[in-house]
Structure 1
Amino acid sequence: MDTIDQLATKLTPYYLHFNVENRLLFTGHSHQAWPDIALEGLKESFTTAASQVDNKWDPAFEKAEILRNYLRKYYDDPDGLYSLAENTHLLLVAWLSSFDLKNKPKVITTTGEFHSMFRQLHRLKEEGLEVIKVDPYEDIVSHIIEQIDDQVSAIMLSRVYFKSGLVNQHISEIAALARSKGIPLLIDDYHGTNVIPLSITEENLEDCYLLIGGYKYLQWGEGNCFLRFPKGCELRPAITGWFASFSTLDEPRNDEPVHYDDGNQRFASGTYDPASQFRAAKVVEFFEKQGLTADLLRQQYQRQVGLLRTLFLEQDFDPEIITLYHNRPLKENGGFLALRSPYARTIRAKLMEQDVFTDARGDIIRFGAAPYITSEQINQAIGKLADVVGKLNP
């Protein structure tokens, strides 16, 4: 607990606008507080637009490159390319549009994917796409092997599952399998970035694609999502915007095949609001100044989630009312504690009445950690949970 507080109390003075010291913010897996310096980034974006007008794009692109470099360092990925978009859905759709889904109409995924991937694939299934969903936890590799044939265009799955918080332990094995069959692999890492270190180089994932979002653990806020793709990628997304080919803007239009620039823009769309990148670049500066390395962040999340789980178990709740989603080792868990309850939505609402921020999805209620949360706040949150559960009338 002392170790948790050592970092948390160091950070809380830098989050005055979000008032993290006096609020029980346990939605860190969904939306983390922004450090105060993020406001400077938003102000900078305004003054840059006001002073430079349409020339603001050069400094805006520089801010985006700061974010890319942060991700390259985090993922030990010096040669990786990173396309920017407002959300991961835009990137997912652009990526999917690269494949010949008419002649290879099969996509393998899991039953544990987040709504953006699940919804889009479900809708495309209505249009004839063959979507195969395997269990994300039990024998996932063998189940994927069973489904692979010459009709498969892609494999799409998460590194950390959004409901359970469990880490997919077989990413490298699945990547090797996909490689051996010539099938592209897309990894949704929204719940992995800044929580569980990953070396793309050491895990031999250089040819894989990663979806990354800044809304959660990166503290970058909305509008900072990236598709990581390999150097030398030749995919030609059918859903494409003019930002994907700046080099040809001044050339005469013709009937030649659509051109894609080399570099980061292959999956880019069009004009966007760059204020998000100004804000996020300041957060990157803050993280680096505070020494928030990948290993330090992992240790903090492990200790916080571990304390949440220990205190939860000490309450000895009726498992028919609320229980752990899983009993797997802590090292296999991401940045939040998932609890199962038929009253999850009610519990979440009652906690909110006591100013405890959590979230619920179906019968799952999640308590998300963040680097600035103290052990005392964790104790308070579980105490309030006990009070709410004790007053339930099932």
Structure 2
Amino acid sequence: MSHDINQLAQKLAPHYSQFDVSNRLLFTGHSHQAWPDVAREGLQEAFEVAASEIDNKWNPAFEKIETLRNYLRNYYDDPDGMYCLGQNTHQLLVSWLSSFDLQQKPKIITTDSEFHSMARQLKRLKEEGVEIITVDGHADDIVNQIEHAIDDNVSAVMLSRVYFNSGIVNQHIGEIAKITKAHNIPFLVDDYHGTNVMPLSISDEDLNHCYFLIGGYKYLQWGEGNCFLRYPKDCELRPAITGWFASFSQLDKAKSDRVSYADDHQRFASGTFDTTSQFRAARVVAFFDQMNLTPKVLHKQYQQQIALLRNTFSNYNFDTDVIKIAHEEPIENIGGFLAFRSPFARTIRTKLMDKGVFTDARGDILRFGVAPYITSHQIKQAIEELDSIISKINP
């Protein structure tokens, strides 16, 4: 296992010299991965294009966006899907939600394990009278819970494929998709923690009618400003919150009383945005292709790294009153990070940072996220540092 991990990690590490991944213990891969050195060239290219092309910079910028769309189409085995760019998933989420008549159908079904972008927004809508039905995202009977909650008042079902607080993969997306399709209810999947970690064929799994939120800040290594809402080709939703980029190609046409959504892939778009992010991300896409970082290769690396991380942690026999693995799911049901539960999670995270180990804590959960360039030695180093901190904590 260690040999396989290191073979890829050591091949990649020299290409991440600006982030110095070989000499740093970067275990926030689930929050922000290092960028390959070519990303810097993308930033330079964005400036050069803006300087040389002035107002005509948008055509090369749109070409970069299409490069990102093609990457996602290939990753998801989704040749017919539409992919709308957004600066963050919240912008896209709000635009999507504004498509529904929440006065006539004031019910949304979600889970108790959603990331803040979705959870906070739905909580605020609940204060305004929207009926938010929250099911147990990690329950074995989640499908039954959702089906039981469905009635004529439901506007949408919204949940994650990989839960941000545990790293556990929701094994029931296909079943939930069938139910929502049967009831003609839009189904939105937050896949920020699934993209580039857990392969998914939208075609094979019959998910063509579903909506997916995708973000570039984590496992894609695209950085900020590269989020997408995937939606069906035959989508007819008309978001009430809409920007002029949703009909960019028809700006010079005569205006009608009815707002149009004319451009492919732009139905949920906003307005003017900084295109620098797309130039940077397009370079990363080319780099991934050059290094043959296919979905299969990436998945294997993450699975082996998570397995080694968990095994190394288990070998230390930590006091479970201080810290323990948050769940016992099999490796194949875990995404790109491992969650530990500790009443001292935030303290441990701070002390790890003092030692140069980058991790992340939310409440009583300490998260170690791996990345393709992390070696087996770095995994063992990180747990050694954890041990040195844990040994000084009295429960």
Correspondence for 2:130: 129
Correspondence for 2:158: 156
CA distance in 2, matches of 1:203, 1:87: 26
> Residue type matched to 1:372 in 2?
Y
Correspondence for 2:12: 11
CA distance in 1, matches of 2:381, 2:28: 15
Secondary structure class of the residue paired with 1:310? helix
CA distance in 2, matches of 1:306, 1:127: 44
For the aligned residue pairs, the C-alpha RMSD in angstroms reads 0.6
**1:315-394 maps to which residues of 2 (within 5 A)?**
315-394=316-395
Structure 1 residue 392: deviation in Å? Answer: 1.1
1:223-280 CA deviation, whole Å, 9 max, x = no partner? 00000000011100000000001232112334x2111114100000000000000000
Moved over 2 A (4+): 251-254
> Residue type matched to 1:202 in 2?
D
> Residue type matched to 2:236 in 1?
E
Structure 1 residue 190: deviation in Å? Answer: 0.1
Secondary structure class of the residue paired with 2:264? coil
> Residue type matched to 1:145 in 2?
E
Correspondence for 1:178: 180
CA distance in 1, matches of 2:376, 2:138: 31
Correspondence for 1:207: 209
Correspondence for 1:275: 276
State which of 218, 222, 232 in structure 2 corresponds to 1:230. Answer: 232
1:66-115 CA deviation, whole Å, 9 max, x = no partner? 00000000000000000001000000000000011110000000000000
Structure 1 residue 221: deviation in Å? Answer: 0.2
Correspondence for 1:41: 42
1:285-308 CA deviation, whole Å, 9 max, x = no partner? 000000000000000000001000
Tell me the percent identity: 66
Secondary structure class of the residue paired with 2:22? helix
CA distance in 1, matches of 2:145, 2:66: 39
Secondary structure class of the residue paired with 1:22? coil
CA distance in 2, matches of 1:164, 1:206: 27
Correspondence for 2:54: 53
CA distance in 2, matches of 1:221, 1:247: 27
Correspondence for 2:30: 29
> Residue type matched to 1:118 in 2?
A
> Residue type matched to 2:125 in 1?
L
CA distance in 2, matches of 1:169, 1:253: 47
Q: TM-score, normalised by structure 1?
A: 0.99
Correspondence for 1:147: 149
1:297-354 CA deviation, whole Å, 9 max, x = no partner? 0000000010000011111111111011100111000000100000000000000000
**1:168-317 maps to which residues of 2 (within 5 A)?**
168-254=170-256, 256-317=257-318
Secondary structure class of the residue paired with 2:157? strand
> Residue type matched to 1:347 in 2?
I
Structure 1 residue 24: deviation in Å? Answer: 0.1
Gaps of 5+ in 2: none
Correspondence for 2:76: 75
Worse-superposed segment, 217-226 or 316-325: 316-325
CA distance in 2, matches of 1:135, 1:313: 28
CA distance in 2, matches of 1:40, 1:149: 52
CA distance in 1, matches of 2:32, 2:126: 31
CA distance in 2, matches of 1:149, 1:280: 42
CA distance in 2, matches of 1:131, 1:224: 29
> Residue type matched to 2:9 in 1?
A
Secondary structure class of the residue paired with 1:7? helix
1:96-142 CA deviation, whole Å, 9 max, x = no partner? 00011110000000000000000000001000110011001111000
Correspondence for 2:109: 108
1:370-394 CA deviation, whole Å, 9 max, x = no partner? 0000000000000000110101133
CA distance in 2, matches of 1:162, 1:333: 11
CA contact (8 A) 2:87 2:225 kept: yes
CA distance in 2, matches of 1:248, 1:9: 49
Secondary structure class of the residue paired with 1:228? strand
Q: How many equivalent pairs are there?
A: 393
Q: TM-score, normalised by structure 2?
A: 0.99
CA distance in 2, matches of 1:13, 1:247: 42
CA distance in 1, matches of 2:380, 2:248: 53
Secondary structure class of the residue paired with 1:153? strand
CA distance in 2, matches of 1:56, 1:120: 35
